[in-house]
Structure 1
Amino acid sequence: MEVEKPQPYFFGDIGCWSERTEVHKAASQGEASVLKRLIDGGASVNVVAVDSITPLHEACLRGQAQCVRLLLEAGAQVDARNVDGSTPLCDACSSGSLECVRLLLKHGAKANPALTSRTASPLHEACMGGNNDCVKLLISQGASLEAYDLYYGTPLHVACVNDHIECVKVLLNAGAKVNATRLHETPLHHAARNMRTDMIRVLVEFGANVYARDQHERKPVDYTTAGSPPADCLLRYEGTPLTLQQLSRLAVRNHLGTNAPKAIGQLHIPKILLRYLSFQ
């Protein structure tokens, strides 16, 4: 089998400019034995297709962990960018492959790659797919909870838009800003639009502003159907003062800021009180 020989590439020294190669195909299809034979034969693991996708992108996008391992061990560039600016870690988070995410991070992948106007962060991608375990791992590695994408907003916006309540809980417990805005839209606006009473409750418990108005001067309740459970829930919150539990949680978290989860874990707080500071 003929193997591509590396050539200079004007968009960064990551291999040659090529159509989709046999290395891409093997990585995408999870053909580890074929991929190993190609690598042993001298094939470039950093060869890029016309859309700047590397074999590592292909393997991560389809959760082919064994191929990811082979590529990384053979010198694949862990933070290579495709034409949209996405890194292999973004693709692994999108596919929900925890094993691929672990491998990439172990080999130095950036949990916070510089964002461009055309790409979201790995944490955005994990939240988009509701890949809760990936979300937890990224946060443990320092992924920015407030990474801002021009189209999506913050990861919390993404989790709410895509109806992933478990991701919402993880983000909030980690210290994500509940009232972050994109065009004045808050995560609560999205939860209301999706008619998710349970998500509305979680957000409000963490201090979501039920009176916040978006660019159309609409409050969250304005996106619900009159008389529906989500509408009744929001109206009840609008007309009822915060409980002692809510006030306590907000006071502690506001005082500690984004370090709240770590600081709370270091305090000698009775387990029964921890229930007031987090949401399971």
Structure 2
Amino acid sequence: MAPPGDPRRLCKLVQDGRLQALQEELPVARGFQGPAGDTLLHCAARHGHLDILTYLTEAWGMDIEATNQDYKRPLHEAASMGHRDCVRYLLGRGAAVDCLKKADWTPLMMACTRKNLGVIQDLVEHGANPLLKNKDGWNSFHIASRAGDSLILQYLLSVCPDVWKTESKIRRTPLHTAAMHGCLDAVKLLLKRCQYEPNSKDKCGITPFMDAIQCGHIDIAKLLLEKHEACVSAEDSLGAQALHRAAVTGQDEAIRFLVSDLGIDVDVKAASTHLTALHYAAKEGHVNTIQTLLSLGADINAKDVRNRSALHLACAGQHLACTEFLLQSGLKDSADVTGTLAQQLTERADSPQSFAHRAMT
């Protein structure tokens, strides 16, 4: 156990909220920094101990603007953890409301990662700017879209009506973010209150509809189709469509929705590579997704621009279960393919009994 006055022990006392013990030991302490350069004020703010925060500030005159190794201040800690009483105290003592930690995150941004409207209101009422962006180009509204609390989004829109007009440095909008993270209520609000362009693309060419599909959020995908005129055949920067991205992530229900409900051709090819969804699933080693695609009529013999079948890609990735399943599923050219693949795989043997031998026998 650390001796009395040791910084680690002091931090533990603060963490546990033991004010009386802290008052007894603090006078003999030599230095106050804890892990990552935290001061005792950081610890008190992070754990929500207002009495200790007050004591350290008023009895010991500790600096409420002290920074740790990540340039976090006590206000960052209190805001990120949703400790409203500590936030109010620090703001009342004159803490800088838009101070920056590493990556240019403000206390308001950190508060927006949690569903704590009261803390966000306190910060804004003390002058926090919702339009500031961090190093990735996200403002507070963008961050709140990831948490998905519609009340917080409505509040930010009420105090800063243009806050929705934002993109990250890779051109992702709050609608992309809410769709990716399955925040249905947030998506409903964004479609109602904001004017995002249908099928807006980030730098990779991904639309909010693609984000919803590749993450398996079919309810959001349906909403984007009905309320935002999303295009189901939009292509990303590599020519892949939503069906292909769903195959990459193994979203079988999304694949069924696209093919069975929306009539997407199960064998549609990515524009630049001619890869089908089956190719993508095999490349990632998704046996269940391969089964789903075949049950929907996917052509097991489809070739890409390099004349490769799904079996080639399964073998190249050394996905044994996929390779075995495809070999058993009626390949017309399996004899020619297996000869070529056996040679390739023998060169990449992963044990004395090579992957090629195991796959082909």
Checking the alignment, whether the CA contact within 8 Å between 1:86 and 1:120 is kept in structure 2 is no
1:181 alignment partner in structure 2: 201
TM-score, length-scaled by structure 1 = 0.72
Structure 1: which 5+ residue stretches go unaligned?
Answer: 3-17, 237-280
2:238 alignment partner in structure 1: 216
Partner deviation per Cα, 1:65-95 (whole Å, 9 max, x = no partner):
1100000010111111101110001110102
Checking the alignment, whether the CA contact within 8 Å between 1:221 and 1:234 is kept in structure 2 is no
Q: Does 1:22 align with 2:40?
A: yes
Structural mapping, 1:67-86, within 5 Å: 67-86=86-105
Q: How far 1:230 moved relative to its partner?
A: 4.2
Structural mapping, 1:189-228, within 5 Å: 189-204=210-225, 205-224=227-246, 225=252, 228=256
Q: How far 1:132 moved relative to its partner?
A: 2.6
Give distance in 1, aligned partners of 2:259 and 2:122: 44
2:123 alignment partner in structure 1: 104
1:168 alignment partner in structure 2: 187
Q: CA RMSD in A?
A: 2.1
* Aligned residue among 48, 55, 59 for 1:37: 55
Checking the alignment, whether the CA contact within 8 Å between 2:71 and 2:102 is kept in structure 1 is yes
Q: How far 1:210 moved relative to its partner?
A: 2.4
Give distance in 2, aligned partners of 1:89 and 1:158: 18
Q: Mark the CA change 1:233 to 1:196 in structure 2 (over 3 Å): closer, same or farther.
A: farther
1:51 alignment partner in structure 2: 70
Q: How far 1:170 moved relative to its partner?
A: 1.0
Give distance in 1, aligned partners of 2:201 and 2:165: 10
Report the more deviating stretch, 99-108 or 122-131: 122-131
Checking the alignment, whether the CA contact within 8 Å between 2:79 and 2:111 is kept in structure 1 is yes
Checking the alignment, whether the CA contact within 8 Å between 1:90 and 1:122 is kept in structure 2 is yes
1:159 alignment partner in structure 2: 178
Checking the alignment, whether the CA contact within 8 Å between 1:39 and 1:74 is kept in structure 2 is no
Q: How far 1:101 moved relative to its partner?
A: 0.4
Question: Percent of pairs identical after alignment?
Answer: 27
Q: How far 1:229 moved relative to its partner?
A: 2.4
Q: How far 1:110 moved relative to its partner?
A: 0.5
Give distance in 1, aligned partners of 2:261 and 2:45: 49
Checking the alignment, whether the CA contact within 8 Å between 1:193 and 1:223 is kept in structure 2 is yes
* Aligned residue among 127, 145, 159 for 2:145: 127
Give distance in 1, aligned partners of 2:259 and 2:96: 50
TM-score, length-scaled by structure 2 = 0.57
Structural mapping, 1:131-142, within 5 Å: 131-142=149-160
Q: How far 1:181 moved relative to its partner?
A: 1.2
Checking the alignment, whether the CA contact within 8 Å between 2:71 and 2:100 is kept in structure 1 is yes
Checking the alignment, whether the CA contact within 8 Å between 2:103 and 2:134 is kept in structure 1 is no
Give distance in 2, aligned partners of 1:21 and 1:227: 51
Q: How many residues align?
A: 220
SS at match of 1:72: helix
Q: How far 1:196 moved relative to its partner?
A: 2.5
Structure 2: which 5+ residue stretches go unaligned?
Answer: 1-25, 28-35, 247-251, 265-361
Q: Mark the CA change 1:44 to 1:234 in structure 2 (over 3 Å): closer, same or farther.
A: farther
1:232 alignment partner in structure 2: 260
Give distance in 1, aligned partners of 2:128 and 2:89: 16
Checking the alignment, whether the CA contact within 8 Å between 1:200 and 1:230 is kept in structure 2 is no
Q: Mark the CA change 1:186 to 1:146 in structure 2 (over 3 Å): closer, same or farther.
A: farther
Give distance in 2, aligned partners of 1:51 and 1:227: 43
Give distance in 2, aligned partners of 1:87 and 1:231: 44
Checking the alignment, whether the CA contact within 8 Å between 2:243 and 2:255 is kept in structure 1 is no
Instruction: Please say which structure displays the higher CA radius of gyration.
Output: 2
Between the two structures, name the one with larger relative contact order (CA 8 Å, sep ≥ 6). Answer: 1
Give distance in 2, aligned partners of 1:87 and 1:227: 40
Q: How far 1:44 moved relative to its partner?
A: 1.7
Give distance in 1, aligned partners of 2:255 and 2:103: 43
